[in-house]
Each structure stands twice: as structure tokens, then as C-alpha cells.
Chains A and B, each alone.
Chain A
């Protein structure tokens, strides 16, 4: 799927190092989105081992981002916390992160994954239909060739996450 020129321009500088291609790919954009979510979401104190613990972005299932995610978070901090990307393959590992991207490859295991994560302060992100309806928190959708997202704030609240109203206003239904 091609992305719009507008978005492409926005992220142009960030992805210059990643790809020779001047226009950012869909997953480059989505990787950036993931990073920025950290800026508009507040985790409870207990979600982190210490005040310096990194924000861990976990990818469950197929790594659709490739190296893009690594690229984005390099040298970035939010509330003095650095980022860390982890590749998960098994569901139980997933609680050790703050943001979990559930690849579409894990669609069939979704109820199991969500169930496993209930009670954990993990921001679940995916890109599959009815993700938010199924108890997921943020779901990427493509509208008019642009990357948008849906938010299920109830789920986030249940997990003890506070999503900034600013971000909420950006979400599509």
C-alpha cells in the first residue's frame, strides 16, 4: 500500500538513513507512530522496574517493521527513559514491555494474547480488523491512503494506562 505524499514529507528526514527511497514506507510511518504513542500515554509507576527503566517496544510475531523501529528509537527518550525494541515470539514474554505491537500474523492467537495481558500495563497496538473491539487498545487503519489509528480508551484505562486527550482526539472510530 502506498502512503500519501504529505505523510511522506513529514517523515522524510527521519527515514533518510533507513532507505534509499525518499518516500517513507508504510511501516516506517507506523514505526514512528509507535514511538510517538509513548509521548501521549502515561504508564503507572509499577509498569517500570525503576525510574530509569527503558520503555520497551515489543513486537509479537512477524517483525513487519524490519529495522525501521530500531532506527526510530535510537537515541530517543521520553520522560528521560530510553527505548528498547524486543522481538517476542511467545505470548508469556509479552508482559515485559510497555508497548506491544501484535503482528497480523498473530490474529488467531489474539484472544489468548489479550487475555494473557489483561492486568498488565501494556499498550497493545496492532493492525487488524476489529482489534479494538476485541479488547486491543490501538489499531492502525488505512484511510484515504493515510495511516490512522483507532483507540479503545476503556481497554487502556483497564490496564491502568492514561492516554492523552490530545491523542484521543486524533483517533478515528
Chain B
């Protein structure tokens, strides 16, 4: 009955504590028997002890009740007669009962008459007796017993017994059980040792046989049967199984042998097949690799715009995939009939050193032995030893024995060679050649495309540069126009101040010395303003015909400027502890050129001062001059250059682009923004150009390029005599002050002056005078007027009287001429503010003209 219960138990345990599985069956059996016996013994003992203890308690209670009864009976008289001594005496008899720890007698009124205790101090007696009671409490048995005498309540006995008896009994039992258990377990162990063999021996035997079978693979052994029980059946089954296995083992061996033979046969067949397949596969792989290579190269080509990197990629791929020892692309140059090594790839660095060929080297096509390539043919040197060309000999010397040169052709035009070489002789087959040929077409196409692209890019860059230059010029022109506009207005406003000051100073009008002095100040100040405005205009002023051009030497000017500016670049910085050096590098053969010396000097001075300003921590200024000889036809230089460089702070791109604009300044309040604009203006007037190179932190270089031959101007001799006959003059100006000024100046020279305030009224005056028979000799008209402007007036006048000179008065004077929009009808232009001398000069010219007529 027990076995099926225990085995799952053990199994469960085994899963929890894996180690218990490993304990031998013998031990397990012993343990089972021992545990079962011990548990049974324990259960029986526990039951027995419990029963006994319960019975003992009951007995104890009964005994105590009896004792109470006896004591009660004995003490009736004492209680009745309240005799404490006697009562005490009676209780004293309890000494014999050692479990009674306390006792007391209460009279019928509940008063304690006498008490007894083993340990007087420790016991507290109940104050009032209880009714008939027996109970266990706090490790004691307590009893109250009512005493009756002839049916009357006479008092109460109180008894308290400790449980020592029970405890002693229990202890005795425990000791006894322990001894019995130990003894019986020893006996059980002995018996189980004898008995478990019945089960364990056959099992051990089976296990041993199984081990022998599995270890030695000997299926012929059989287990001995010990009996007909389940173990016996197990042994039978085990033996039967062994028999079956033995049979199958034999069968298996037989089948295995057969199979081995068949496998050997099949293997032979298969290996032949596999070899065949491998061959095919290798071929396919090679094809695939090539295709892939071609694809990769094509892809690389499509990704790269740069011929160099493209060629390198091609060579690298070729070297890797085709196993080349040398790859080279050389581009053909038709004129010298050479090949230029554009890309070279050599696998072995030692060989590379031996060959001594580098990218960028030039080879003569005829020396390479690739001449046939030029005609679009592939050249194959099966063994380079047999070829007699300098280049192939070089290859041989370095160790290459076979090579293929494929032409790169675009649109039937030869432009390069793709050379592949291997160390072994005869190392290329027709497949390789075919592939290289195919590849070369791609490469050629790509290279050609790249070349086209580069051309396009260059064209685009040029176009962009031109556009930028034009933009810059447009910008400067617009700024010049604006500057001129401002100059015009300022001049208009300035004219009366200067003019009238002059008149008053000349005529004196009874001014005292101080008044004159002040008036002179005013005039001087006006002159200064005129000068400033003039400088503003300088920037875009065209060279005037009558300006004196001189033969001048740039070298001399450069020396001069350095001397003149010495205080600024040496003395002042030195006083601050800064050192600025100057250096000149002047070419002695620089030819003289035609120009306005003062202007160029000022321009150079400006540039030197700018250089000084750009070097707050000191540095070096270099002035160079040289002739530009290129594209000369007669050997004489056409252009002369002068360069002023500093080692200062430099300019950023933005500043460099804009520094020539008027009013553009990086010097804050110190700069007018007109210096470089003036330089630009000067160079424009000299038909030269300004080039600026600058790098932040490195310095700036201004390069002025002058043409040597400047158009000679019609430099007529000026008339020195400015005395003019009195003339009839019509002056048209909408500004009354200016009108009055001109009238005053001219009348002072003895001319007869008529003034009108508008174009229309001027024309009317002119007609009236003609009808009267006293026509005007000269008409001076303002240009900018409302309704009818100076130009229209001049046209109308010329229609009526073509011979009458018309003088245009304008703040845009210089500008009009340059623009080419000086009206034909106008004979002369005078810029504002009109100066007496200028007016006289012009009038004297007409006078002379008229004389001639």
C-alpha cells in the first residue's frame, strides 16, 4: 500500500532537490523504513501520553476535592467556634502534601479565618471565597469547597496545588519515549538492513548489467532472476529487451556495411559531378566578377566628375579584380604627339621604384610601342621581351612580361591609352582583352564627359567673373552719379556765397578791415566747400580735354611719394613705438607714361597712407613697378604696373569688393570714404585699372595698371588775354541769386546783361531782341529748370540763330560730357559755382570765334 504513495513523493522531492535523486536505492529504502517507524512510534507515544496526562489531571482534581472535603470536615468545629488556632493547625497538616502550595479557610461570612502556604510571601490569597469551583489556572490547580454542617453553610476551603506532578510525569514520559524510540530505531535499522536487500539486490544487479551493456556494448549478457515478483518481471523484460537489441544491432551492422559500399559508389559519382560543376561555377563567377567590376567601375564613373579620381578608381578596381600587376592610363596630347601619365597603379612598391614612372610623366607615343592604339586597335604584348620599344624595354627591365594597351576613343578620336600589365609572360587571354576593351569604352566616355564638363565650368566661371566686374562698375557708376548730383546741388547753393563774397571784396563797398577779414573767411570757407565737392566729383570726373597731360615716370613718382609721406609712415609711428619699413622694387626699364602727375601722386599718397593705417602694429610697405610685356607686338610694353603692398590687417572679401566705392570706409570718423574712390577715379581717367589682393591678417596689395600710350589730347594753347569786348548777354536761370551773381560778374566786365527766370521767358527775350535789331551775342542758360530745361532752350535758340553761342551752366558739367550727352546745341559748359575767371575764359573763346567768323 505504501510504495505507490511514497514514490511520487520521492519523485516530487527529487525535482525540488535534485541531489536526492542520486542517493542509492538501498539508502532510500532504509530511510523510508526508518522514517515510517519513527513517525508511527511518535504518534503512538503522543496518544498515550496525552491520554495519560488527561487522566492524571482528572485524578489530580479528584484528589484535591477529596482533600478539601477532609479538611472541610475537620474544620467544621473550628469554623463554627471561630477558632483560628485550630483552623491553622488543621491547615498545617497540609505540609505532608507537597504539591499544595496554598490553602485557606473562610468562615461562613467569607472572612478568611486561617491560611497556609509553602512560601508565605509569594502567595496572595483570594479576598473572597468563590462557590464550589475546581479549575486550572496559571500553572496551578485551584479549588474552592463549601463546608456544610448539618446542611448549613459553615465556610469555605481554598486549596491551590501546583502542577509539579504533571510536569514531572511529563518529563518522565519524555525520557522514557526517547529511550524506547532510540532502542526501537536501532532495532529497525538492523532489520531494515537485512530486509531491504530483498528489493535492492535485484535492482543493483539490473543496474550493473545495464551498465555493462551500455559501457561495453555487449548485448549478450543477461540478468539473473531472483523471484517472480515485479522485480522478477522487470528482469525478464530487461533480458528480453537485451535480446531484441542484440538482434537489431546485428541487423544494423549489416545494413551499415551495405550502405557504406553504396555511399562509396555514389561519392565517386558525385565527386566527378562536383568537379564539373565547380568548373562551371568558377567560370560563372569570373564572368560575374567581371560584370560586377564593370558595373562598379561604371558606377564609380557616374559618381565622379573628376577625371583623376575616376581613373584611379578604375585602376584600383582592375588591380583588385583582374589581378593586374600594373595599371596605367595615359592621355594623348596631339601636338607633341605624347602620352601623359594621368593615373598609375603598381601593386608592388619595389617594382614601382624600379620602373621609375610617375603620374604626370610624359612619354612619346612612338617610344611606347602603342602606336597602333592611335588607330583604335588593341595592342597585346604576349611577351614584352620580343618588343623593341624604349618603354616596353623599361617594362621588361622592371620585370613585367606581358601587357595589353587598349585605346581610349571618343567619337572615333584617340585620346588616351589604358595599359594593363602582368609579371608573367603570356598572362592575358582573349577574355581579358575583350573585357579591357569594353571597359576602355566606358572610361573613355566618362573621361570625355568630364572634359566637357570642365570646359563648361570654366566658361561659366569666366562668365560669372565678367558679370561681377560689370556689376561692380555699374555700382561705381551709380554712386558717381549720385555724388555728382549732390555736388550739383551744393554748388548751386555755394555759388552765390562765393560769388558775392568775391564781388564785395573786389569792390570793397566801404568795408572796414575787420569786415573784409571776415568776408575773406567766408570766401575761403566757401572755397573749401567747393574744393570738397570737387574732390567728391573727382571720383567720377572724366579727364577733361584741356587738362595738361605730362610725360611722367612712375619710378620717380614712387620715390617722391615715399619721401613726402615719410612723417606719416616713419615719424608719427616711431613716436608711438611702432616701426614701419618701406621698400622699393622699381624696375629700371619702366617707360614713362602720359598722365596728370598731381593726380597720380595724390592717388599714390592715398595708397601709402592707407597702408600705414592698415598696420597699427608696424610692418612693411613695398612699392614695386614693372612693365607688362605680354602680347606686345613691337616689343614695347603696353602697360606699366605699380604695386603698393602692406603687411597689415588685410580686408575681408566684402570690404575688398566695396573699398573703391565712395563713402565706403572702415576707418570710422577718420575716413571720408573718398580716398580709394579718388584713386579709382584717377585710374579711370588714365584709362588704367585697379587690382586689389588682400588676405585677412596678411596684408593688402593695390596694383595700378597704366596704359603707356594714352590718346594724345588736343592740347591747345590757352588764350592768355581775357579782355573781352562788351557783349549783349542773356542769362536764363531759375535761381535768382545765381542769376544776380552772373549779372553782377558780367556787368562788372562791361557786358550788357539781361536776365530771365525761365526757359520760356528767355526765348521770348531773345526773339524780342532780334526783332529790335539788337540780338544777344551770347546766351547763358541753366540746365536744370522747370518746364523748359536748358537743353530744350539751347535747341530752340540754335533753330532760330545757329551762330549764337550757348553756354550751359550746370552742376553736372563734367558728368554731361563723359556721358556723351552734351547737347550739340551747347557750345560750352560751365560748372557751378561759376567763377568770374571761368566765365571770362569762355566768353573770350566765343569772342575769338566770332572774330574768325
Contact = CB atoms under 8 A, between A and B. Distances in A.
Asked whether A and B interact, the reply is yes
B72 to A, nearest CB: 11
Contacts of A7: 82
Contacts of B149: 39
Contacts of A164: 77
A170 B77 contact: yes
**Which bracket fits the contact residues of B?**
10 to 19
A116 interface: no
B293 to A, nearest CB: 136
Contact of B80 (A6, A13, A39, A77): A39
Interface string A1-41: 00000110110010000000000000000000100100110
B76 interface: yes
A77 B83 contact: no
A106 B83 CA distance: 30
Contacts of A78: 150
Interface string B92-119: 0000000000000001010100000000
Contacts of B109: 9-10, 13
A123 to B, nearest CB: 15
Interface in A157-173: 164, 166-167, 169-170
A118 interface: no
A170 to B, nearest CB: 5
A166 B77 contact: yes
Nearest to A169: B86
B74 interface: yes
A134 interface: no
A39 to B, nearest CB: 6
Contacts of A39: 76, 80, 149-150
A40 to B, nearest CB: 6
A170 B81 contact: yes
A166 B150 contact: no
A79 interface: yes
A6 B82 CA distance: 9
In this complex, the member of A13, A39, A78 whose beta carbon has the largest number of chain B beta carbons within 10 angstroms is: A39
B78 interface: yes
Contact of A79 (B74, B76, B150): B150
Contacts of B150: 39, 77-79
B78 A166 contact: yes
A10 B82 contact: yes
Interface string B581-599: 0000000000000000000
Nearest to B111: A9
Nearest to B82: A10
B372 to A, nearest CB: 161
A7 B89 CA distance: 20
A78 B149 CA distance: 9
A13 B110 CA distance: 13
Nearest to A40: B77
A170 B83 contact: yes
Interface in A31-86: 33, 36, 39-40, 77-79
Residue picked from B109, B149, B150, most chain A C-beta under 10 Å:
B150
B86 to A, nearest CB: 5
A13 to B, nearest CB: 8
Contact of B81 (A9, A33, A77, A79): A33
B148 to A, nearest CB: 11
A166 B109 CA distance: 21
Contacts of B77: 40, 164, 166-167, 169-170
A170 B78 CA distance: 7
A78 B151 CA distance: 9
A77 B149 CA distance: 11
Nearest to A35: B80
Most buried by A among B74, B78, B80, B82: B80
A167 B109 CA distance: 21
Contact of A10 (B74, B75, B76, B107): B107
A96 B223 CA distance: 115
Contacts of A77: 150
A9 B76 CA distance: 18
B106 to A, nearest CB: 13
Interface in B45-82: 74-78, 80-82
B149 to A, nearest CB: 6
A166 B82 contact: no
A150 to B, nearest CB: 13
B86 A170 contact: yes
A116 B534 CA distance: 192
A166 to B, nearest CB: 3
B107 to A, nearest CB: 7
A15 to B, nearest CB: 14
Contacts of A166: 74-78
A36 B75 CA distance: 14
B301 to A, nearest CB: 138
Nearest to B154: A39
B141 to A, nearest CB: 27
Contacts of B80: 36, 39-40
Contacts of B89: 169
Interface string B134-171: 00000000000000011000000000000000000000
Contacts of A6: 82
A79 B82 CA distance: 22
A146 to B, nearest CB: 9
A169 B83 CA distance: 10
Contacts of B78: 166, 169-170
B241 to A, nearest CB: 96
Contacts of A33: 81
A4 to B, nearest CB: 10
A44 to B, nearest CB: 19
Contacts of A169: 77-78, 86, 89
Contacts of A40: 77, 80
Interface of A: 6-7, 9-10, 13, 33, 36, 39-40, 77-79, 164, 166-167, 169-170
Given A10-B109, A39-B150, A166-B76, 14 more contacts: A6-B82, A7-B82, A10-B82, A10-B107, A36-B80, A39-B80, A77-B150, A78-B150, A164-B77, A166-B75, A166-B78, A170-B78, A170-B81, A170-B83
Give the 4 A-B CB pairs with smallest separation, nearest first.
A166-B77, A10-B82, A167-B77, A170-B83
26 contacts: A6-B82, A7-B82, A9-B109, A10-B82, A10-B109, A13-B109, A33-B81, A36-B80, A36-B81, A39-B80, A39-B149, A39-B150, A40-B80, A77-B150, A79-B150, A164-B77, A166-B76, A166-B78, A169-B77, A169-B78, A169-B86, A170-B77, A170-B78, A170-B81, A170-B83, A170-B86
